[in-house]
Amino acid sequence: MQIKDLISILDLSVADIEEIFATARRCKEKQKKGEEYTPLKGKSLAMIFAKSSTRTRVSFEVGMLQLGGHALFMSTQDMQLKRGETIHDTAKTLSRYVDGIMMRTYSHKDVLEMAEHATIPVINGLTDLSHPCQALTDIFTIIEKKGNPAGLKIVYLGDGDNVANSLALIAGKLGLHMVLCIPPGYEPDKGIIKEAQGLADHSGAKLELTNDPQAAASDADILYTDVWTSMGKEQEREERLKIFKPYQLNGRLLAKAKPDCMVMHCLPAHRGEEITDEVMASQQNISFDQAENRLHVQKAILTLLLGK
């Protein structure tokens, strides 16, 4: 890859995405065979967290360990950022200590600023606008399970959040059929959708926005959902529960999809809200394979960015 940072799917060419997937497959194969693969021996990754995390922290930390490197967990509550140090100064300082920075935060501008001033690679571990590592993992998992994703109907149900934004962009890049089924007023970022549609026009992708979950689920190959209330929006939870109820991924909705439809969720799942226990327990649920693949896809990203 020719890029320095991974902030958005827009940073990646189709060739970059294919290289990430090929490297992720190699990382996964080596781990499953018990083969040592340590291209990042002696390298360090600073992991900055403004948002709490399970999968992002563990997958990046374990990933660096397996690649022979070291990861440092840094909560913004314990850093000088909390006491007024600028992102500019933090980026400059960390660039003298470590080989890469992963940041999981609220404001997308913070990650952009970190990347602007750091002289080392910066990886977006999640912002309110974008979640590129998740979207890459999702398509990697679909390819692993279904083969060539071209022609598959991939349906995302729920909030037009960072995951929806990044899925729209990667679908546009790769020429996929993506249906975003979102309640009115909760659509993805307008700028992102404009970018995604532009990509789709070039690649032949089919990008649909709808607010009819029954129609969206019909003949779907993949049904994908995410939490209805993201971190930082907890005060909206009760209102969202009412508005999003028709978008719940349950047995009735799953029955409208193809018989071999697979269910995805980036986790954590709020069972009984966006997805039912019945669907989580079904053989069609691949969300834990999806969670595992975060490790392998992020190892690929780390290898390609930090191993230069």
Residue that has been written with the tokens 């995410």 in this structure: 226
- Which listed residue (66, 134, 290, 298) is catalytic? 134
Active site residue 266: yes
Active site residue 104: yes
- Please give the domain boundaries of the chain with CATH numbers for all domains: 9-131+291-306 (3.40.50.1370), 133-289 (3.40.50.1370)
Supply the pLDDT for residue 8. Answer: 98
Each as own residue / partner, the long-range contacts of residues 106-111 (CB below 8 Å, 24 or more positions apart, any chain) are: 106/50, 106/51, 106/231, 106/232, 110/50, 111/7
Active site residue 133: no
Q: Which helix (H) or strand (E) holds 122?
A: strand 122-126
- Which listed residue (266, 290, 296, 298) is catalytic? 266
- Which listed residue (5, 16, 110, 131) is catalytic? 131
Supply the pLDDT for residue 111. Answer: 98
Q: Is residue 70 within 8 Å of 35, Cβ to Cβ?
A: no
Supply the pLDDT for residue 174. Answer: 97
- Which listed residue (55, 177, 265, 294) is catalytic? 294
- Which listed residue (104, 108, 177, 296) is catalytic? 104
Active site residue 226: yes
- Which listed residue (5, 128, 221, 226) is catalytic? 226
- Angle value at C-alpha 94, between 93 and 99, nearest 5 degrees: 140
Rounded mean pLDDT for each run of 10 residues along the chain, 308 residues in total:
96 98 98 97 97 95 98 92 90 98 97 98 97 98 97 97 98 98 97 98 97 98 95 89 97 98 97 98 98 98 95
Supply the pLDDT for residue 171. Answer: 98
